[in-house]
A and B are shown apart, each in its own frame.
Chain A
């Protein structure tokens, strides 16, 4: 008797052979693997990191940054600050067009700032809070009037708050702008299939078109790091963002892949509940010596080595040691178990103490905290890991239902964004509910400081208090790792993690 006996591999292979002729994607379509899908594609409404990566190709901003975080012209070619620090006059690039043909000019800037400040759904309101009004003083000149000096504003304009949308399209679409975004960047929006791809096509009338050498760019969300790398290795994508540190060796061993990296602007650490509700009334919330002891008990360099193959950067401040804002008076401390024990004893816990830390229930944070757990155990701290799904963790943290929380921040170009909201009294992100008059004064002063030195001095002053109080124990700074096909040339890594395609080329 002979019944059907299909051999699977044969079926797979024959179908494969058939399909081979159909492959060979156009080299001019750059395919980029993202760690997750972007949210709504409206710069005024969006919140995700990957969304910003898409904007880097889709929407121009008033100003941009260099890899060293200096502010440089993009759509604004020059700007002057008035002596009282309350007016910024901007000269704008001429001959720029939005993807729908609307010309870019001072009126367009005014309309954009108005939208960011007034659209109900806008998330940019606080970023532009200091701008009280705009004044169009010429076709290509605009004045921004400020409530007071704001040292953080230019950095905001180098990100989503400074992205210019076509005023025509924005007025028509209202809050639905994100379904079909129209900006003035090097690529225009073509199509989006949620969780699958975002396709942008080259904008022929781009003001800097010569710097762009791809016909289109396709962003593909591929959450699994192994699969993302496999896609690059098989040639299905051309580059990817956020290679896992654990995959670094594998990527480096592949001759057809190059790796680029930059220390991010963000941080990861442990936030303590200092004064947020009843749960803050515990030894860890009440006694800074315990928090200091925890910090001393951790070997940050070893932590980086064990969990991240040494690819990230150890840290003890909201800014990475590579940042110009890092306070070198407080370098990353070496591990000191004896000191930690001494501090515990001083606080009355010579026999050890328990600490419950809530941790997001994903691999990396759990690994991280397990290593920390082992380290601090030697100092007599019995660290208990409570793993929570991220949404729950965030809600509990916000509500004050925690003792300590392993959480981080993706980082901002301006130092203010990494610290002010977290530790000033009543700050929007101050889940610890930490409050200290000296810190408030220093950080508020930094916001209006006239020059970089004065700002740096203010941040250093705050740092002296914060290192002592330790409401947040900083652990490390993520490094952005990009893996690229060796055919890509001219890619520049930026600490903001964005992918800027100006000057990036493809060689067959």
Chain B
């Protein structure tokens, strides 16, 4: 397993280098001068030139890239052009926010998606199956921004049950923090739940028709035991892979969800940074997110070993 993981990590390295080049190049290709945006209405050419020097924007691009990379390797991702705050500090501020959103969304996705998938596979062709499919399809088709705004109008404005938007750190007020995150994670979670349900269903369908399931039934085990213990356990591998892959979708979804609910997380930071041409922030976030995604896939790979004993011998 160690060998396998080492190999995986070695494969990941060039990917990360490529991503860093890509992120950097994309930023430079974007039309619009970051300093002109920064200056906004007040464009004093002397100040612009000075800032260009300060942020080393006059250096050749290759030099800029290596400066950035060497600083990044030392944990310095530069400072935000807009607020003068260090990017690493900003990210540490935002990371718990997005992680909380991601975790809570994932709970929604798993709690809805997996049981619905099992149920609809088990009762394939029944009314339950159709209903689950329709619900899943709606979960996929209803745009986040629409569902988000509708929930705000209904739950917050009309019923006044949950805060309309914003964020409260867990450490500050646990309950209020959970309440603030409920709607956003529900919105984000339902979209993922749909994907989750479809995959669980197909994985379960494959397993349910396998010989060993028939054997289990023949042994006289209860249906509950057959489905949850024998079939589901074997259907888990693709579900775990999917959960890791969905992490990417989660981050992408967070961009939109955080925008709607004004949650100060990674997603909101990256959108604001792109529009403000706050390039150090964009580069930092994308790089860290990409590394996080690769890491999640490594975790998924490791989990296979735990879930599937047959792999352990390899």
Contacts and interface: CB of A to CB of B under 8 A. Distances in A.
Interface in B35-82: 36-47, 50-51, 54, 80, 82
A230 B260 CA distance: 12
Given A120-B50, A121-B50, A123-B47, A391 B275 contact: yes
Interface in A203-225: 220-224
A267 B118 CA distance: 60
A394 interface: yes
Contacts of B249: none
A39 B82 contact: yes
Given A15-B179, A230-B153, A395-B31, A410 B41 contact: yes
B178 A15 contact: yes
Contact of A230 (B51, B164, B167, B179): B164
Interface in A376-402: 389-392, 394-395, 398
A231 B165 CA distance: 7
Contacts of B165: 222, 227, 230-231, 236
Nearest to B86: A179
Give the secondary structure class of B's interface: helix
A253 interface: no
B50 A227 contact: no
Contact of B275 (A125, A126, A196, A390): A390
B111 interface: yes
A118 interface: no
B166 A226 contact: no
Contacts of A392: 31-32
Contacts of A409: 41
A99 B44 CA distance: 31
Given A126-B44, A179-B85, A234 B163 contact: yes
A347 B240 CA distance: 71
A164 to B, nearest CB: 20
Interface residues of B, number: 69
Contacts of B119: 3
Interface in B207-265: 223-224, 227-228, 259-262, 264
Max chain B CB contacts within 10 Å: which of A15, A37, A176, A391?
A391
B303 interface: no
A318 B119 CA distance: 67
A235 interface: yes
Nearest to B148: A227
Given A19-B179, A194-B264, A231-B164, A391 B42 contact: no
A437 interface: no
Interface in B77-116: 80, 82-85, 90, 93, 108, 111-112, 115
A482 B46 CA distance: 37
A230 B175 CA distance: 21
Contacts of B170: none
Interface in A240-273: none
Contacts of A47: 38-42
Interface stretch (B6-14, B17-25, B154-162): B154-162
A4 B114 CA distance: 10
A170 to B, nearest CB: 14
A179 B157 CA distance: 35
Contacts, number: 176
B157 A230 contact: yes
Given A16-B179, A37-B272, A125 B166 contact: no
A16 B47 contact: no
Interface string A396-425: 001000000000011000000000000000
B115 A4 contact: yes
A405 to B, nearest CB: 14
A14 to B, nearest CB: 11
A16 B161 contact: yes
A157 to B, nearest CB: 16
A120 B44 CA distance: 12
A220 B83 CA distance: 16
Contacts of B182: 12, 15-16
Interface residues of A, number: 62
Q: Which of B152, B155, B224, B277 has the most CB of A within 10 A?
A: B152
B83 A40 contact: yes
A284 to B, nearest CB: 23
Contact of A5 (B37, B51, B115, B261): B115
Nearest to A16: B161
Contacts of A394: 32, 36-37
Interface string A112-126: 000000001111011
Given A47-B41, A224-B260, A4 B176 contact: no
B103 to A, nearest CB: 15
Interface in A5-29: 5-6, 8, 12-13, 15-16, 18-20, 22-23
A15 B174 CA distance: 12
A13 to B, nearest CB: 7
A195 interface: yes
B104 to A, nearest CB: 11
Given A1-B223, A395-B36, A428-B44, A193 B84 contact: no
Given A19-B179, A22-B175, A176 B84 contact: yes
Contacts of B228: 3
B268 interface: yes
Interface of A: 1-6, 8, 12-13, 15-16, 18-20, 22-23, 37, 39-40, 42, 45, 47-48, 120-123, 125-126, 175-176, 178-179, 193-197, 220-224, 226-227, 230-231, 233-236, 389-392, 394-395, 398, 409-410, 428-429
Minimum-distance CB pairs A-B, first 4: A391-B32, A196-B264, A19-B179, A234-B156
11 contacts: A5-B115, A12-B162, A15-B178, A16-B162, A23-B176, A194-B80, A194-B90, A222-B165, A227-B164, A231-B156, A231-B164
Given A15-B179, A195-B268, 4 more contacts: A194-B93, A236-B165, A394-B36, A429-B43
